[in-house]
A and B are shown apart, each in its own frame.
Chain A
Amino acid sequence: MFAPTSEAELSEVVAGLSAAVRVLGGGTRGFVRGGDDVLSVAKLSGVSLYEPGALTLVAAAGTPLSEVETMLAGEGQRLAFEPMDHRVLLGTAGEPTLGGAVSANVSGPRRVAVGACRDFALGVRFVDGTGRVLMNGGRVMKNVTGYDLVKLLSGSYGTLGVLSEVSLKVLPVPETELTLVLDGQDCSQAVAAMSEALGSPYEVTGAAHVSGKTYLRLEGFEAAVRERFGKLRSALKAHGEGGEIGAEASVKLWRDIRDVRGLSEHGFVAKTSLRPSAQPAMLAALNEAFEVQVQLDWGGGLAWVGADMDNANAQDLLMFLQDYSAKSGGHTTLIKGPDVGPVFQPETAGVARLSDAVRQKFDPLKRLNPNLMSASS
C-alpha cells in the first residue's frame, strides 16, 4: 500500500507507479474493486482554511468527514449536500473522507433543494495519472476562469486524478426543522405528493418515500418553519391528513433516509436516477418482474432498489434497471452486491467515446482505478 503524507510525495508515488492502483480515501464507499495495490490519501489530512463569514472551507482530501462536520458545527454551519455514510448500508469499516465524498459526488436528500456535492465544490488540487500536480477552481464562490474541471473531477471516482485538496462552500445550519408525513401511499401517489410539495413556495428541503410513508422536510427559523408547515399541510390535503415529526426525531429520520438504513439488510442495492415523473412506471414494471424493496428520495428522482436473490436473478435485475434507465434517459449504479454486471450505467457511444478520451488525457497510462466507471478503450 502507498500512503503518501504530502501532495509532493503523492506526486512522486504516482509518477513512479509501474502498475495500476486502487485509489482510496477511507475505503468506506465500496466502489473500488479489483486486486490492484492500494493508494490511500488518508494521510493527507487537515483543514487548512475555514472562514465562516465567507462560507468557505479548504481541507486536504484525506480529512475525515467527521472532523470537518464537527468543525463546521462549532460555527453553526454544515455541508449542505448532506453526504451519505455508506458504512450503514455496506457494513464497511473505516473513516469516510472529504475527498471520497467529492470523488463519488455523494449527495443526500437535500440535493433536491440545494444541489449536489459537485455544486458545493469550489476548487480542487489533484495529481493526474502521470504525477503532475494540478489545480482548478479556487476558494471563491463565483469563478468562471477557464474550464470547470472541478465538476469533472467531482464524481470521477479517482479515475482522472488523485484529489489532494478540496475547497467547499458551506452553509448555515437552520434554527430548526419539522417533517410532514403522509401515510399509506404507494410510489405513484408519493411522487405526485412530493412533486406538488417541491413545486410549492414552502421551501421543502427533503422529499422521500420509505415503507409506505412520504416525508417532507422543512428547515429554517422556528416561526417561519411552523408557518410553512401549516401552509404545506393544507396545500397537500388532497393527499392525506399529514402528521408532524418534531425536530429531534426529524434529524434522526433524515439521517436514516440519507444512509438508506432501511435497505441495509439486503445483499443487492442499486440506485436509479430518473426524472421523477418517469419513476412510477419504472417501479410498476420492476415490481411485476422482481421481488424488491424500494426507497425513493429527491422527490422521486432517485430510487434505491434493494433485493435478496441469487446471482443469476441479481444480474437480470441490474440489467432490467440499466436498460430501463437507458430508455428513459437516466442511469443506474450498482451500490452493493456481487459482480453481476457493470457497476456504472453503460453510456451511449458518443458519450463513451468522449469520456474515454477525457480519461486518456488525465491518465494515459491507465494507472488510476482502471476498473472503475466506463471501460477504457
Chain B
Amino acid sequence: MQMPTPNPETLANKQALRERLEAVLGKRGVIADERELKAYECDALTAYRCAPLLVILPESTEQVSAALKVCHEMRVPVVPRGAGTSLAGGAMPSADSVVLGVARMNAVLESDYADRIVKVQTGRTNLSVTGAVEADGFFYAPDPSSQLACAIAGNIAMNSGGAHCLKYGVTTNNLLGVTLVLMDGEVVELGGAHMDAGGLDLLGLICGSEGQLGVVTEATLRIVPKPEGAGPVLIGFDSNEVAGACVSDIIKAGILPVAIEFMDRVLIEVCEEFAKAGYPDCEALLIVEVEGSDAAIEHQLGLIKEITERHNPVAFRVAESADQAARIWAGRKAAFSAVGRISDYMCLDGTIPVSQLPYVLKRIGELSKQYGLGVGNVFHAGDGNMHPLIMYDANKPGDLETCEAMGADVLKLCVEVGGCLTGEHGVGIEKRDLMSDQFAPDDLDVQMAMKDVFDPMWLLNAAKVFPLDASQSRREAE
C-alpha cells in the first residue's frame, strides 16, 4: 500500500512536539514509548502497519482542541482513532503522524427519554450506549458486527450500519448533533437534540467523512423504544437465484423485516462447523427477522411462509424460543471468526441493487475460479450490502496481492451493476485507489473541496479516501 513519504522535518521535531503536547495534555495524555506505539500501528485491517510518531489520549473537548491547535501550528498530520476496529484502514497512521485516540472520553453526558436522545462522549462503545438506556426500555439502533468494541467516534466517521438497518437506518439516520473540533482547534456545535437542520446540513456531511473534516468529541444520538418482541426465521434454498427472488418478493409484499441476512453454501458450512447452529445443508440460507407483539410476529411469519413456499424452500424454521432465536443468529454472527479460523481472508463491502444479486454471485464464483482463491458470501440482503470473504494464505508469497486484485475486480463489478464500493466499512486506505472507478474527476474534486473548507492544510487523516494522485496537489500545497 503506497503512502506519502513522511516529512523528515516532522520526524526530527518529535521531541519538541512531545513537550508541547505534554504541556496541554499532561504526561499521562501522551504516548511516546516505541513499544507502546506499536499497539497503534494498525486497525482491524491488519495487513498494513505503520507506527505513528506519537499517540495522544485527550480527556475532554478542551484538550482535543488544545492538542489539535499544537499540531496545526507545527503542521503535524493527525489520525483520529475510535477503537481501532476499522476494516478499511481508516485509523492507520503514517510515520510522521500523531494518533488522536478518543478512548478516554467515554461518559454518558445526558439521557432524556421524553426527547428520546442520549448524549455521549464519542469514545464510548456502540453497545454500551445501548447499555446505558436499555434498563429503561430503549436502545441505540445501528449495530455493526463490532459493536462490542467499536466506538461511536468511528461509527460517525464511517457512517456505520449493521444487520438491523433495513428498518432503523444507519448512523447518519440516528445522529442528531455533534461537537466537532476542527484541525485548527476551533470548536463547532452542529445540530442538537432537535430533529432537523436549520441551515445547510453540515452534520450530514460530517457523518461518513472518515475523520477527515474534524474530530467529533460528543454526539447526540437518537434512541428508540425496544420492540415488544422479535422473531427470526431460518429459510434454506437450493439456489442463490431463488433465495434472491424470495427476498424481493418478501419486500414487495409490504412486509418490512428488521433484518434479512443471506449466506451461501461456503459460509453455511464454515459457520455450521464452527458455531454448531444447526443450519440445514443447502445452497443459500436466509435469516429473516420481524418485530412486534407475539400476534404481530406470528402474522408476519405466516405471510413470509406463504411467500417462501412459492419458492420451494428446503428448510423453514421459526424460532420457538429465545434459545432457538439465539441459535439462528449464532452462526451468522460468528461468520467472520469462523472463516478466520480456517484461513486468512479479506472482507469486501460493496453494495449492489438487490435485483442484481444472482448475477453478481455468479460472477464472483467465476472470479474465484479465475484467481484460484476461495470465496464465501454473507450479506445484508434487504439492502444489497454484500460481504464476500476472499480467502488467502498470508504466508504464501504473492497471495495477498492476488487477493487484492480479485477484491478490486469484485468491487468494480459492484459499481458496474449500479452499486458502490463500500456500504458500511468506509473507503480508508483499502479502497482509496478504486474511487476513480466510481467517481468522475469532478465528483472527487467537489468532495475534496469540502476538505479544503474544514481542513485547508490537509493535516487530518489526509492520505485516505481519495486516490493519492487526485489529492496530491492539495496535500502538498504550502
Contact = CB atoms under 8 A, between A and B. Distances in A.
A252 interface: no
Interface residues of A, number: 93
B254, B438, B454 — most chain A CB neighbours (10 Å): B254
Contacts of A325: 198
A140 B419 contact: yes
A211 to B, nearest CB: 23
B353 A152 contact: no
B420 interface: yes
Contacts of B73: none
B358 interface: no
B43 to A, nearest CB: 16
A83 to B, nearest CB: 13
B151 interface: no
B169, B195, B254, B385 — most chain A CB neighbours (10 Å): B195
Interface in A203-225: 203, 220-221, 223-224
A363 B384 CA distance: 35
B192 A329 contact: yes
Contact of B295 (A134, A175, A227, A277): A227
A132 B449 CA distance: 14
Interface in B463-478: 465
A55 B251 contact: yes
A148 B172 contact: yes
B46 to A, nearest CB: 21
B425 A144 contact: yes
A139 B252 CA distance: 17
A142 B205 contact: no
B354 A53 contact: yes
B114 A195 contact: yes
Contact of A220 (B186, B248, B296, B435): B296
Interface in A155-195: 155-156, 159-160, 171-175, 191-192, 195
A7 interface: no
A311 B450 CA distance: 40
Nearest to B197: A155
B207 interface: yes
Contacts of A202: 228
B9 interface: no
B351 to A, nearest CB: 4
A173 B254 CA distance: 7
B447 A149 contact: yes
B439 A224 contact: no
Contact of A329 (B137, B159, B194): B194
B300 A144 contact: no
A142 B165 CA distance: 9
Interface of B: 112-117, 137-138, 158-159, 161, 165-166, 169-170, 172-173, 186-190, 192-205, 207-209, 225-228, 247-249, 251-256, 292-293, 295-296, 299-300, 351-355, 380, 383-385, 418-427, 431, 435, 438-440, 442-444, 446-447, 449-450, 452-454, 465
19 contacts: A53-B247, A54-B248, A107-B196, A136-B443, A144-B208, A145-B435, A147-B205, A147-B450, A148-B172, A149-B447, A156-B200, A195-B113, A220-B292, A224-B295, A301-B194, A331-B194, A331-B197, A350-B187, A357-B453
Interface of A: 51-56, 75-76, 105, 107, 111-112, 115-116, 118-119, 128, 132-136, 138-152, 154-156, 159-160, 171-175, 191-192, 195, 198-203, 220-221, 223-224, 227-228, 231, 273-277, 298, 301-302, 325, 329-333, 344-345, 347-348, 350-352, 354-355, 357-359, 361-362, 373-374
